[in-house]
Chains A and B, each alone.
Chain A
Amino acid sequence: MMTNFWQYVLAALILILAAMVVLMFRRKALLDKLNYVFAMNTVIVLLILVVGFVGGREDMFIDIALSYSILGFVTSVILAKYIGGRKK
């Protein structure tokens, strides 16, 4: 019963993620793409957690999600700094 529910949640998150990837490549501006990447980071963290719930190994996947969220944040911040540059 509950495993079924987590599978549906997993499917919904994957659909959202796929839509984000497709829409990201349709944008032309760089910062818009960065915005999508940052949104995808949150979705991927949730996705990792839900994968853990589907397989019944949530204790392991929670640690992975924890480290992934921090890594994704660092990536986005450095990319934003790199793209934005300095004001003259």
Chain B
Amino acid sequence: MTATMIITAVLIILGLLFMLASLIGIAALPDFFTRLHAQGVGDTLGAFLILAGMMAAVHGGLLSVKIFLIFIIIVLTNPIGTNLMMIAAINKEDYLGYRTRMSGEETAAEYVSPDPEPEDEPEKAEADKPAEEKQEETKADKPEDKQDKPDKEPEVKTEKKQAPEKKSEGKDEKKQASKKKRRRKPSMSMNKAELIKAAENRGISVPEGATKRDILDLIYADKDK
């Protein structure tokens, strides 16, 4: 019974306990995102402790370095994989019940195939109102200027803006930014020109003098069908 054996045994037993805790977490926690949390955190720490015990067991040297490499791979990839799974869950049509839960309605027990609920979105837009006001306070006056002008001019401007972004596809950051812009859901936090454009992308003709509220109602009424 040498010192390295004791260190190895203690570390590996601790690691196994953490793995067991993560297993219980995945099995017993009530919600998908909490289960994801249990898996991402518990597994990483458990694997770290077990691999540290193994590094002690091989008495250093090249093998220890290789085990350390495995440890680095696990520590890098486990949170990334958890994050990607979370993004995949959120990008699903129904948010996996996330939105219904936030609005206080009864959640479906299984997330297999619940119906999308467009009724929530106007409420969400209403909730966004104060945030939008804050943004307008903090930001420069640019969005307000766009609102004041007649509708045609901002459209042309946005088209001109997006055209050079598409051309400069070499830079990944700009590409991602434009993707995000395209993916944003229409809500009250967008300015009027963007909302009109979003409506036209869905094949809705916007009457003149419509407020942001009206455009949003049109968009989501069309979604119901």
Enumerate chain A interface residues (CB-CB to B < 8 A). Answer: 1-2, 5, 9, 12-13, 16, 19-20, 23, 28-32, 34-36, 38-39, 42-43, 45-46, 49, 53, 58-59, 62-63, 65-66, 69-70, 73, 76-77, 80-81, 83-88
Contact = CB atoms under 8 A, between A and B. Distances in A.
Interface in B15-73: 16, 19-20, 22-23, 26-27, 32, 35-36, 39, 43-44, 46-47, 50-51, 54, 57-58, 63, 66-67, 69-70, 73
Given A65-B70, A84-B89, 17 more contacts: A1-B1, A2-B8, A5-B9, A9-B12, A12-B16, A16-B16, A16-B23, A29-B110, A29-B112, A31-B88, A35-B36, A36-B26, A77-B84, A80-B85, A84-B84, A84-B85, A88-B183
A47 B186 CA distance: 49
Contacts of B1: 1
Q: Considering the complex of A and B, which 8 residue pairs feature the smallest CB-CB distances, nearest first?
A: A84-B88, A73-B77, A80-B84, A87-B91, A29-B111, A80-B88, A76-B81, A62-B66
B74 interface: yes
A80 to B, nearest CB: 4
Contacts of A43: 19, 43
B16 A9 contact: yes
Interface of B: 1, 5, 8-9, 12, 16, 19-20, 22-23, 26-27, 32, 35-36, 39, 43-44, 46-47, 50-51, 54, 57-58, 63, 66-67, 69-70, 73-74, 77-78, 80-82, 84-85, 87-89, 91-92, 96, 110-112, 183
A16 B44 CA distance: 15
